[in-house]
Amino acid sequence: MSTARPASARPAAPRRSLLSRATATAAALGLLASGAVVAVGATSLELAAAPAAQAATSSTVDGAASAATLSWGLKESFRSYLTKPFVGGVITTSGGATQGANNGVFSFGSGAGTLRGGTGTLSFKGTVRIQGHHGQMDLTLSNPQVVLTSGTAGELRLDAKLPQTTQTEAFEKKNAVVAKLSFSGASVASGKLELNNAAAVLTADGAKAFGGMYSTGDAVDPVSVRAAFAARTATAIKASAGSSQYGTNAWLTASGLPSGAKVAFKRGSTTLGTATANSRGTAVLKAKAGGVGTQRLSASFGGSASKKPAAVAFTAKVNKRSSATQVAAPKFKKNTKAKATVTVPRLADGSYAAGKVSVTWDVPGKKATTKSYTLSARSKGKLTVSAPHASKKTVGLQATFQGSSTTHGSKSKKTWVKVR
């Protein structure tokens, strides 16, 4: 960006200003790092040295930031340049941004965000508009964000707008990464978060936002953040399960949770379901715990703005389903074989039993006889059986469902079938 000249004296649509060329020359001579003064026409521009990264502090930061303020001066030499009479620089702040006295650094307020293990995003409000050179300079920067990508590195992002002029290429981008940050860690103490003087170097988008005055990798002013900080506290949750029959729901309960917390109940890697904690911090889920035996389950809470994640292991006892065996038999005609219907009613989970059924007949004058049958799910719990011998007297029978790996066996009462 350079001083605007009359059209007759200006070359056709130049894209690199005198200031840009002077800055590039200074960089080539190694002057940027030394804080040297570079002459530009009848003026001079001070190129400040890049600050060193801040001293080491803790990077294990976990919690919510509020009432945060971001301080960044763009580049001190640039602010100084704007005060030159031939530039006619005008700085306008709005929407939560302010500038310090005596052409000081800019502050952006109303910041908030969350950090997990030292990483996360803090968003701020405010707009800075810089104008000069009779309309040839018009840079707007707004809504900055500080993104901590690790315990020692991050990014400065913002919305940048630079219209095309005879001296600059147009550049407009939302949430542009304008600078890379390096630091030794954010510190938290007494409910306050501080990130002090994080070293900042321009990215390609940052160089474009400045209209080519500076190059990718050039140092700009350091970035600092101050915020109220509420660290997340530990959550000690408990969980239990009521016993259940195979195929039926068990009551799974987790307690000690924040109100409204979401809890995931799992068996190994299989999610059984999720539940929401009530105002008393208890979450309850009805779910099938698994196969017969002792099942190892877990309940986990993913954390919230104020609470750290937590998980607990617990067990659930799953019993075999109970069964009942019933016999119904009408009177039979003398000297014929008695018949009966054996029924195993629906099980607790609504399914039909499947397995072996033995029926023992007691026919007068004959040895007791036991016959085995197969009860399938398609039988819908019913079997029709016949006595092994004809009889002219009352006969007795008793049926036994043998059970299975998931269902207890059962035996009917002894039934006497009369002759009609």
* Residue 116 and residue 250 in one domain: no
* Residue 195 and residue 257 in one domain: no
Q: What per-residue confidence (pLDDT) applies to 61?
A: 82
* Residue 364 and residue 242 in one domain: no
- The sheet that has 326-328: what strands, in order across it? 326-328, 339-343, 382-386
* Residue 277 and residue 406 in one domain: no
* Residue 152 and residue 94 in one domain: yes
**Residue 169, phi then psi, degrees to nearest 5:** -80, 145
- The answer to whether residue 360 sits within a structural domain is yes
* Residue 111 and residue 187 in one domain: yes
Domain span holding position 372: 326-417
| CATH number for 285 | 2.60.40.10
- The answer to whether residue 111 sits within a structural domain is yes
* Residue 290 and residue 363 in one domain: no
Final residue belonging to a domain, choices 269, 295, 319: 319
The DSSP code sequence of 36-85 is: -EEEETTEEEE-PPPPPPPPP------EEEEEEEEEE-S-HHHHHHHTST
> Is 111 exposed, middle or buried, given 0-12, 13-18 or 19+ CB atoms closer than 10 A?
buried
Q: Which residues of the chain have pLDDT under 50?
A: 1-58
- The answer to whether residue 170 sits within a structural domain is yes
- The answer to whether residue 45 sits within a structural domain is no
* Residue 89 and residue 215 in one domain: yes
pLDDT in tens, 119-174: 999 999 999 999 999 889 999 999 999 999 998 999 999 999 999 988 788 999 99
pLDDT in tens, 231-255: 899 999 999 999 999 999 999 999 9
Rounded CA Rg of the chain: 41
Look up residue 214 and give its amino acid: Y
Look up residue 16 and give its amino acid: R
* Residue 279 and residue 347 in one domain: no
Final residue belonging to a domain, choices 172, 196, 231: 231
Q: What per-residue confidence (pLDDT) applies to 13?
A: 35
Q: Give 205's DSSP letter.
A: H
| CATH number for 343 | 2.60.40.1940
Cα separation, 384 vs 152, whole angstroms: 79
- The answer to whether residue 43 sits within a structural domain is no
* Residue 297 and residue 331 in one domain: no
Q: What per-residue confidence (pLDDT) applies to 186?
A: 84
- The answer to whether residue 40 sits within a structural domain is no
Q: Which of 211, 158, 162 is nearest to 181 (CA)?
A: 158
Q: Which of 309, 277, 272 is nearest to 289 (CA)?
A: 272
123: part of which helix (H) or strand (E)? strand 119-125
Tell me the three state secondary structure of residue 247: coil
235: part of which helix (H) or strand (E)? none
Q: What per-residue confidence (pLDDT) applies to 59?
A: 52
* Residue 107 and residue 225 in one domain: yes
* Residue 264 and residue 179 in one domain: no
- The answer to whether residue 34 sits within a structural domain is no
Q: What per-residue confidence (pLDDT) applies to 187?
A: 85
Residue 291 CA to chain centroid, in angstroms?
31
- The answer to whether residue 10 sits within a structural domain is no
Range list of β-strands (E), 205-330: 219-231, 238-241, 244-245, 250-255, 262-267, 270-276, 283-287, 293-301, 310-319, 326-328
Tell me the pTM: 0.63
Look up residue 280 and give its amino acid: R
Tell me how many domains the chain contains. 3
Final residue belonging to a domain, choices 282, 297, 319: 319
Q: What per-residue confidence (pLDDT) applies to 48?
A: 34
The end-to-end CA distance of the chain, in Å, is 117
